[in-house]
Chains A and B, each alone.
Chain A
Amino acid sequence: MNVKAERLSLTYGKHEALKQVSFELDSKKIYGLLGRNGAGKTSLLSIIASFIKPSSGELTINGEVPFENADIMQQVALLYNKDYQDETDNIKDMLSNIERYRPQFDRDYADALIKTFKLDVNKPISKLSKGMQAALNVTIGLATRAPITIFDEVYLGMDAPARELFYKALLKDQENHPRMVILSTHLVSEMDYLFDDVILIHEGNILLHEDYHSLIEKGVNITGDADAVDSFVQGKTALRTEQLGHTKSVMLYGELTEAEERLAISEGLEIGPVALQDLFIHLTEEEQQ
């Protein structure tokens, strides 16, 4: 599958939710779509899933505009933190309905996930707890096996062990049935190991789209004697500074050259990786300023 956006914009009245964004996704990877609240994540995902028409620009999937395209719309599933308060069907009936419309839906796998999440299939969905409803969304998203599967903050309401089960199931299913998965989240620290690629969206613009490992390598943690650290980081972009006694740790943005690495080692400094979450916070804050 290939998803391509060219100068894609979405406006609600005077508010610009997306500002001429362009990007291309073309692999069976797990894409992490990161952004702060109101950054435009849901707007972008809604366009990909044909929930909304863009105001201008173009989005294509496999070269075709997905909006009202029956063949393409069947290939895209968007799962989100849905309000089920009026849903009187039980899980069993709901899955039977989905099975009728989703060609790749795997009912056996759905049943296995239901057991994993310990969901009551006979209870009306409106009576399930928020966490159970979120687990149901995860189950639907995984078992639908749509070639483009989108989870928009779908984990909301799930407790930590349930989220962990979701991440494990996602990785395992991605290994057995590779597809394009887009995970929109701001639980970055918890989910970063899932991402193959990272797309950072901020105030309606795409700030970056990079391979996870390349992005992580753009940040380093320098730890050691406070004076040595201060002299080493001079002139570099520091994201965060922490100090305990005479030991200081500074997070830098930007790759170190080999010479700089050698210098750090010779000064007795430790070089460590940075977390994606810290880069995310820094990059979005910098833009804000």
Chain B
Amino acid sequence: MKKPLIYLKVTKDLFVAQLMWALGFLGVMLVIQIIKTVIASTQGNEVESYYHSTFVASHIFMLIIGMIAITFLPYFIELGVTRRDYYKGTFLATLGLSLVMPILTTLVTKVEQLIFRYLAIPTKEMAINEIILDTERDFIGDIVQSAIISPFVDPQTNPWLAIFIFSIHALIYYLVGWFISASFRQHMIVGLLSIAVSIILIRLEDLLFRVSLDLPLPSGPLTMDFLPSGVSGLGIVLIIGLLAWLIRQLTKNMTIKI
């Protein structure tokens, strides 16, 4: 009988563990959403969708669990698993999670929309993609915006594209968290550098998404409005590839201190 591949065991274990955390996160977001809906409807205000609230918060969630990912490395090495299998397993588990989370979020949002329609609760139009045009340009402001109001597609208009965008964002934020924590394991200076690199990559990804989705772009030197949308899509793939490559370089010979 053929032995099951070790990295697939790692994939399964990490996927299940992280999915449990994600379900906890989505559950908390759902409770918040219900409370928000009750308050808004009693005051006669519009309610923003579950997808929108979760989309924004998921960046921070994925960043945090990405940071935790490095703590699994000593655990697996102690079990006789190679760094290569840990890396492959973690990456595949993250791909799975990045796909499942938006699907669940979109499904809950669909149910929510049906309930809203039945109860005649007005929903707020999503306009976060426009915000960038109203903001004064400054670097720190851009970073915060990139984390909180990334380019967004409403699942009401195009659910598949909404899931896809959410997935890519989730994956990138996870990889950024993993990259930063792996860098700090090497050296504090490397860790600090990794934060700077991550900020640039997230900002770049934000701009590339805006180009590829044909969303409003900020003016200034970083506008990139000259890029065709196909090229910008490739740019996003390259950012994911670069993060994945950097993480592998940082972890492939990583020391386990005892």
- Asked if B77 is at the interface (CB within 8 A of a chain A CB), the reply is yes
Q: Are B85 and A70 in touch, CB under 8 angstroms?
A: yes
Closest Cβ of chain A to B44, distance in Å, is: 45
A100-B13, A101-B6 given; A77·B258 CB < 8 A: no
A42-B258, A80-B258 given; A101·B9 CB < 8 A: yes
Q: Are B80 and A101 in touch, CB under 8 angstroms?
A: yes
Closest to B84 in A: A68
- Asked if B197 is at the interface (CB within 8 A of a chain A CB), the reply is no
| B80 contact from A82, A97, A102, Cβ within 8 A | A102
Q: A70 to chain B: which residues have CB within 8 Å?
A: 6, 81-82, 84-85
Q: Are A69 and B78 in touch, CB under 8 angstroms?
A: no
- Asked if A209 is at the interface (CB within 8 A of a chain B CB), the reply is no
Closest Cβ of chain B to A149, distance in Å, is: 12
Q: Are B82 and A78 in touch, CB under 8 angstroms?
A: no
Distance between Cα atoms of A74 and B79 in the complex (Å): 7
B: number of interface residues (CB 8 Å): 19
- Asked if B253 is at the interface (CB within 8 A of a chain A CB), the reply is yes
Q: B258 to chain A: which residues have CB within 8 Å?
A: 42, 46, 51, 78, 80, 82, 152
Q: Are A97 and B13 in touch, CB under 8 angstroms?
A: yes
Q: Are A46 and B81 in touch, CB under 8 angstroms?
A: no
Contact with A along B237-258 (1 / 0, CB 8 A): 0000000000000001101111
Q: Are A53 and B255 in touch, CB under 8 angstroms?
A: yes
Q: Are B255 and A51 in touch, CB under 8 angstroms?
A: yes
Chain A interface size, as a band, is 20 to 34
Distance between Cα atoms of A50 and B256 in the complex (Å): 9
- Asked if B185 is at the interface (CB within 8 A of a chain A CB), the reply is no
Distance between Cα atoms of A1 and B196 in the complex (Å): 47
CB neighbors of B among A12-46 (8 A): 42, 46
- Asked if A165 is at the interface (CB within 8 A of a chain B CB), the reply is no
Distance between Cα atoms of A102 and B77 in the complex (Å): 12
Q: Are A74 and B256 in touch, CB under 8 angstroms?
A: no
- Asked if B110 is at the interface (CB within 8 A of a chain A CB), the reply is no
Q: A46 to chain B: which residues have CB within 8 Å?
A: 255-256, 258
Distance between Cα atoms of A89 and B258 in the complex (Å): 20
Q: B257 to chain A: which residues have CB within 8 Å?
A: 51
Closest Cβ of chain A to B254, distance in Å, is: 9
- Asked if A75 is at the interface (CB within 8 A of a chain B CB), the reply is yes
- Asked if A170 is at the interface (CB within 8 A of a chain B CB), the reply is no
Q: B80 to chain A: which residues have CB within 8 Å?
A: 73-77, 101-102, 146
Q: A100 to chain B: which residues have CB within 8 Å?
A: 9, 13
| B256 contact from A52, A75, A101, Cβ within 8 A | A52
Q: Are A68 and B82 in touch, CB under 8 angstroms?
A: yes
Q: Are A51 and B82 in touch, CB under 8 angstroms?
A: no
Q: B255 to chain A: which residues have CB within 8 Å?
A: 46, 51-53
Q: B81 to chain A: which residues have CB within 8 Å?
A: 70, 73, 101
Closest Cβ of chain B to A70, distance in Å, is: 5
Closest to B79 in A: A101
Residue among B76, B81, B82 with the highest chain A CB neighbour number at 10 A = B82
Contact with A along B59-87 (1 / 0, CB 8 A): 00000000000000000111111111100
Q: B252 to chain A: which residues have CB within 8 Å?
A: 68
Closest to A53 in B: B253
Contact with B along A91-105 (1 / 0, CB 8 A): 000000110111000
Distance between Cα atoms of A75 and B255 in the complex (Å): 19
Q: B76 to chain A: which residues have CB within 8 Å?
A: 101
Distance between Cα atoms of A13 and B230 in the complex (Å): 48
Q: Are B78 and A78 in touch, CB under 8 angstroms?
A: yes
Q: B6 to chain A: which residues have CB within 8 Å?
A: 70, 101
Distance between Cα atoms of A53 and B78 in the complex (Å): 15
Closest Cβ of chain A to B188, distance in Å, is: 15
Closest Cβ of chain A to B71, distance in Å, is: 8
Closest to B75 in A: A97
Q: A73 to chain B: which residues have CB within 8 Å?
A: 77, 80-82
CB neighbors of B among A100-120 (8 A): 100-102
Q: Closest 7 interchain pairs by CB?
A: A51-B256, A101-B79, A74-B80, A73-B80, A52-B255, A68-B82, A80-B258
* A residues whose Cβ falls under 8 Å from a Cβ of B: 42, 46, 50-53, 68-70, 73-78, 80, 82, 97-98, 100-102, 146, 152
16 A-B contacts, Cβ less than 8 Å apart? A42-B258, A46-B255, A50-B77, A50-B82, A51-B77, A53-B253, A68-B82, A68-B83, A73-B80, A76-B80, A97-B79, A100-B13, A101-B76, A101-B80, A101-B81, A152-B258
